[in-house]
């Protein structure tokens, strides 16, 4: 026995339907159009005609009496079977509708982000077997859409419009999420927070924006951002934020950090001991909580134990009411320890102990931006097993009330985002089985080969330290290269670059350059091998699979390959420069430019169709800044021997011997461009044209 769903079927809805549920119904209508070629008909209280009936639960017999619960029940009417989707509340109905979409219509949670096709059908058969949803392990679970420059620059409109945010929030709901921080420090005039609430999500806040309030220095330009001196001004901002959001589903963030996500004592230096700092943070958090309780009955509150706040809490200097969930953070590389700050890396455990009362949760990164070695445009660099182990360890410690996942720009991180959604649903995941299922969802064929390439990716990342999570994302090749270039151009080579000590230790600058050279030479072997395998497999794939494979995987491998090659050539150029072989250094730095330009080409190849301009705002990894720095360096090197006429190297190394002593200056003195000269010199010094 089956419910038969066809084109033009009728969906019956309650008399009063909320905006979040209507958004979910709109998704179902769009899904039906993809499958059947037309939308279903939505009618109010049309049970007799309907194929699908949507309703809220009238009692425990229909649906479990717990938030977000839903069930499928079946009834027969005149020999026609009908599907009842019953929800305990709005989110229950939303999850029920999206479960129907995925389970029976075949719409993947990441259909938009992975450009996944759906099979068109004339009918869909649903077995008449009752279904009751299971409670998800984590109470509040969702994404922090952080460092979202690709989303910001993708379209012309700023702040990003509904066109950008809707597919983000839809994917999150389809992954079972119920909470979001919709962007980082975006103008309050933007649609992001309003749309998230409209779609049924709980909205929470950045830990540097307690209560979602306006930044002090934006509101009170020129005033010192000191709570001690201006408590009334701070509290006015908090009151405004509370009043604006009090009728929405908010997971309130209580905290006290400084302006721009920094320690508050940078602006208030009198707080010069851990005791003073902890006492002030405790005072502010208690005051924020008091203000919330005055305005809202039983507010849901959290406090991020992030950065310096985690250390002060661990030392016993911060006291948090038990009613406030304490949120522990990983180090940005997936390990539940304190994050590296510059060259300091204490790796203090960042999980609750048996002595920590109240509810707990975690803030976790599968994408990160730290100006050192993080992954922003490429996937999480450590093996996924680390994600599983660290999150499961967090759950075992009692941190199950909240899981906020840094999701970045979404598109580059679909695999780890999907992996974590399994963990917040069920509490555990089989990494091997999950990867196989993920590959089958995204690709039509060659699943075994594809699976092996994905697994290989996490084995190829550069291991820059002794810890298991010391693995490099693509920012490793850019931020550190620019630091080396700046140090070089500032003529500071007689002293080491302290900003590189986190990686190399305290060694002379030439040894620092050699350290990065060796790491990239070693890394290039693995990345180059993986890229070759990708190219071979791509030749076998269907047109759609080939493009998807490139967008979601191969392009990221190319960012690693081009990054390694570019950094290697830069380091070689420095060594030639120190040997005063300036023309060779000029060629090697030119090669570095050409290799890094391949990263931009990878962006372009992924910017097709709806993805046009997706990488336009690469402001964090910032490949163009690396190229800008290299261009300045190349001109500086050319000054060392080709100045003032910019003809000397051409004459010495390129001009035929028969011409060198009889040429006429008026016909032979047009300087070559840097690129043209470098290509000609490359033939001389390297024996071949590199490009």
Q: What is the DSSP string of 517-545?
A: HHHHHHHHHHHHHHHHHHHHHHTTS-HHH
Task: Answer yes or no: are the C-beta atoms of 327 and 206 closer than 8 Å.
Answer: no
Q: Report d(CA 83, CA 5) in Å as an integer.
A: 9
Q: Report d(CA 72, CA 607) in Å as an integer.
A: 41
pTM, two decimal places? 0.96
Q: Report d(CA 343, CA 499) in Å as an integer.
A: 7
Query: Of 103-112, 279-288, 652-661, which gets the smallest average pLDDT?
Result: 652-661
Q: In the structure encoding, which two tokens stand for residue 300, read together?
A: 């849901």
List, for residues 233-285, the tens digit of each pLDDT value: 999 999 999 999 999 999 999 999 877 778 899 888 899 999 999 999 999 99
Task: Answer yes or no: are the C-beta atoms of 524 and 561 closer than 8 Å.
Answer: yes
C-alpha to C-alpha distances, 314 to 243, 274, 281, 305, 319, nearest whole angstrom: 33, 11, 14, 9, 10
Query: Of 105-114, 540-549, 573-582, 668-677, which gets the smallest average pLDDT?
Result: 668-677
CB atoms within 10 A of CB 240: 15
Rg (CA), the chain: 29
Examine the pLDDT at 669 and tell me if it is beyond 90. no
Q: Report d(CA 108, CA 98) in Å as an integer.
A: 10
pLDDT at 156: 96
Task: Answer yes or no: are the C-beta atoms of 317 and 279 closer than 8 Å.
Answer: yes
Q: Of 211-225, 479-493, 662-676, where does the model show the most confidence?
A: 479-493
Spatial neighbors of 604 by CB under 8 A, at least 6 apart, are: 615
| Dihedral pair phi/psi, residue 462, rounded to 5° | -65, 130
Q: Strand 179-181 vs strand 202-204: parallel, antiparallel, or unpaired?
A: parallel
CA angle 544, 548, 554 (to 5 degrees): 130
Task: Answer yes or no: are the C-beta atoms of 517 and 568 closer than 8 Å.
Answer: yes
pLDDT band (50, 70, 90) for residue 663: low
Q: Report d(CA 605, CA 612) in Å as an integer.
A: 10
Q: Report d(CA 347, CA 338) in Å as an integer.
A: 5
pLDDT at 618: 98
Q: Alpha helix locations (H) across 44-174?
A: 90-100, 149-154, 162-174
pLDDT at 262: 80
pLDDT at 207: 85
Q: How does the average pLDDT of the chain come out, rounded? A: 95
Local structure of residue 516 (DSSP, 8 states): H
CB-based burial of residue 300 (10 Å sphere; 0-12 exposed, 13-18 middle, 19+ buried)? buried
Task: Answer yes or no: are the C-beta atoms of 90 and 171 closer than 8 Å.
Answer: no
List, for residues 210-219, the tens digit of each pLDDT value: 999 999 999 9
List, for residues 127-170, the tens digit of each pLDDT value: 999 999 999 999 999 999 999 999 999 999 999 999 999 999 99
Among the listed residues 566, 633, 568, the one whose alpha carbon sits nearest the alpha carbon of residue 600: 566
pLDDT band (50, 70, 90) for residue 665: low
Among the listed residues 636, 373, 332, 619, the one whose alpha carbon sits nearest the alpha carbon of residue 500: 373
**End-to-end CA distance of the chain, in Å?**
65
SS3 513: helix
From edge to edge, which strands make up the β-sheet containing 131-132?
A: 41-44, 10-13, 52-56, 80-87, 70-77, 131-132
Q: Report d(CA 235, CA 269) in Å as an integer.
A: 21
Q: Report d(CA 114, CA 415) in Å as an integer.
A: 10
Q: Report d(CA 143, CA 400) in Å as an integer.
A: 15
Q: Rounded to an integer, what is the distance from CA 649 to the centroid of its chain?
A: 46
Examine the pLDDT at 637 and tell me if it is beyond 60. yes
pLDDT at 78: 86
List, for residues 174-195, the tens digit of each pLDDT value: 999 999 999 998 998 999 999 9
Local structure of residue 118 (DSSP, 8 states): -
Angle between helices 509-538 and 476-489 (to 10 degrees): 150
SS3 614: coil
Task: Answer yes or no: are the C-beta atoms of 3 and 81 closer than 8 Å.
Answer: yes
Task: Answer yes or no: are the C-beta atoms of 476 and 566 closer than 8 Å.
Answer: no
Examine the pLDDT at 564 and tell me if it is beyond 90. yes
pLDDT at 655: 86
Angle between helices 447-460 and 509-538 (to 10 degrees): 180
Q: In the structure encoding, which two tokens stand for residue 636, read together?
A: 């500086």
pLDDT band (50, 70, 90) for residue 690: very low
Examine the pLDDT at 362 and tell me if it is beyond 90. yes
pLDDT band (50, 70, 90) for residue 688: low
pLDDT band (50, 70, 90) for residue 689: very low
Q: What is the mean pLDDT of residues 345-373?
A: 95
Percent pLDDT > 90 in the chain is 87
C-alpha to C-alpha distances, 204 to 201, 241, 464, 637, nearest whole angstrom: 9, 12, 35, 51
C-alpha to C-alpha distances, 95 to 103, 376, 427, 539, 605, nearest whole angstrom: 12, 30, 18, 39, 35
Examine the pLDDT at 691 and tell me if it is beyond 60. no
pLDDT band (50, 70, 90) for residue 667: low
Number of H helices, E strands in the chain: 24, 16
């Amino acid at each position: 026995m089956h419910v038969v769903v066809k084109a033009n079927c009728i969906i019956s809805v309650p008399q009063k339907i909320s905006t979040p549920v209507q958004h979910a119904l709109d998704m179902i209508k769009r899904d039906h159009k993809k499958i059947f070629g037309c939308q279903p008909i939505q009618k109010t209280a049309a049970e007799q005609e309907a194929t699908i009936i949507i309703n809220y639960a009238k009692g425990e017999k229909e649906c479990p009496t717990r938030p977000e619960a839903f069930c499928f029940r079946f009834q027969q009417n005149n020999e026609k079977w009908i599907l009842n989707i019953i929800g305990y509340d709005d989110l229950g109905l939303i999850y029920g509708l999206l479960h129907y979409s995925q389970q029976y219509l075949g719409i993947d949670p990441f259909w938009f982000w992975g450009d996944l096709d759906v099979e068109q059908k004339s009918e869909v058969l649903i077995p008449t077997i009752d279904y009751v949803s299971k409670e998800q392990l984590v109470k509040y679970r969702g994404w922090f859409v952080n460092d979202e420059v690709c989303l910001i620059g993708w379209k012309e409109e700023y702040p990003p419009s509904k066109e950008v945010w809707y597919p983000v929030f839809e994917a999150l709901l389809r992954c079972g999420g119920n909470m979001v921080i919709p962007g980082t420090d975006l103008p309050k005039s933007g649609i992001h927070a309003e749309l998230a609430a409209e779609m049924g999500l709980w909205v929470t806040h950045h830990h540097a924006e307690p209560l979602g309030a306006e930044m002090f220095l934006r509101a009170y330009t020129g005033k010192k951002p000191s709570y001690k001196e201006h408590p009334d001004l701070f509290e006015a901002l908090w009151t405004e934020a509370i009043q604006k959001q009090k009728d929405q589903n908010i997971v309130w963030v209580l905290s006290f950090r400084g302006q721009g996500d920094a320690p508050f004592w940078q602006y208030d230096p009198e707080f010069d001991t851990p005791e003073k700092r902890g006492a002030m943070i405790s005072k502010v958090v208690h005051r924020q909580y008091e203000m919330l309780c005055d305005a809202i009955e039983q507010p849901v509150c959290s406090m991020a134990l992030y950065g310096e706040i985690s250390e002060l809490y661990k030392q016993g200097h911060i006291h948090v009411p038990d009613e406030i969930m304490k949120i522990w953070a990983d180090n940005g590389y997936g390990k539940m320890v304190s994050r590296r700050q510059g060259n300091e890396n204490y790796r203090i455990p960042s999980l609750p102990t048996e002595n920590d009362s109240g509810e707990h949760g975690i803030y976790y990164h599968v994408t990160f931006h730290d100006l050192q070695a993080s992954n922003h445009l490429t996937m999480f660099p450590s093996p996924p097993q680390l994600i599983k182990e660290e999150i499961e360890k967090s759950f075992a410690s009692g941190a199950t009330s909240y899981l906020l996942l840094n999701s970045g720009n979404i598109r580059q991180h679909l695999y780890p985002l999907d992996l974590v959604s399994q963990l917040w649903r069920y509490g555990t995941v089989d990494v091997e089985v999950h990867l196989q299922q993920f590959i089958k969802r995204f690709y039509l064929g060659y699943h075994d080969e594809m699976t092996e390439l994905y697994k290989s990716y996490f084995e190829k990342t550069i291991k820059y330290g002794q810890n298991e999570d010391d693995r490099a994302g693509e920012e490793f090749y850019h931020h550190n290269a620019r630091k080396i270039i700046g140090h070089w151009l500032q003529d500071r080579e007689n002293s080491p670059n302290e900003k590189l000590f986190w990686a190399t230790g305290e060694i002379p600058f030439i040894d620092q350059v050699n350290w990065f050279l060796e790491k990239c030479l070693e890394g290039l072997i693995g990345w180059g091998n993986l890229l070759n395998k990708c190219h071979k497999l791509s030749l076998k794939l269907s047109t759609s699979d080939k493009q998807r494979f490139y967008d979601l995987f191969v392009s990221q491998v190319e960012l690693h390959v081009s990054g390694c090659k570019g950094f290697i050539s830069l380091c070689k150029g420095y060594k030639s420069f120190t040997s005063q072989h300036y023309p060779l250094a000029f060629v090697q730095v030119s090669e570095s430019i050409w290799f890094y330009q391949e990263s931009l080409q990878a962006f372009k190849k992924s910017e097709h169709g709806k993805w046009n301009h997706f990488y336009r705002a690469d402001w964090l990894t910032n490949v163009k800044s690396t190229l800008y720095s290299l261009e300045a360096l190349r001109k500086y090197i050319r000054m060392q021997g080709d100045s003032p006429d910019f003809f000397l190297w051409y004459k010495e190394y390129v001009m035929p011997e028969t011409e060198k002593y009889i040429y006429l200056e008026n016909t032979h003195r047009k300087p070559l461009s840097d690129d043209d000269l470098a290509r000609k010199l490359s033939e001389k010094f390297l024996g071949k044209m590199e490009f």
